[in-house]
Amino acid sequence: MPMGNCESYSMDRLGYLKWREDLKQFHAKTTASILQQSGYDAEFIARVSFLIEKKLLKKDEETQLLEDVVCLVFLEYYFNSFVQKHDAEKMKNIILKTWNKISEKGQQEALKIDYSAPNFQLIKTALDL
């Protein structure tokens, strides 16, 4: 199931969430296949798939660590381009959703990122800091 065709998903929140879930499944299956062909054991493959599918987020330490990394990469390398594409209210919503997925330690690290002054102010406003 190649994931290049987003047209088969409705262009609303439900369609977006379905696309994201299908994408996680696609990545987990693709990775599992590669790992199996490379000789990894079933237990290792199952764990990697579990992490890719973000199962037990907030409850599983490794799943949470992976989510923290993803969110911190977004904030450090992609946040600026998102700010340019969306209005302040939409960005506040994106910031809150991102923040709520990050662990407390990840949140502390997120505040250490070298944001532009306006972007850092937007983050502080969204988080009521």
111 to 39, 92, 117: CA distances (angstroms): 41, 15, 12
pLDDT given at position 1: 46
* % of the chain surpassing 90 pLDDT: 81
The closest of 100, 95, 103 to 79, measured between CA atoms, is 95
Global pTM?
0.81
Task: List, for residues 71-90, the tens digit of each pLDDT value.
Answer: 999 999 999 998 999 999 99
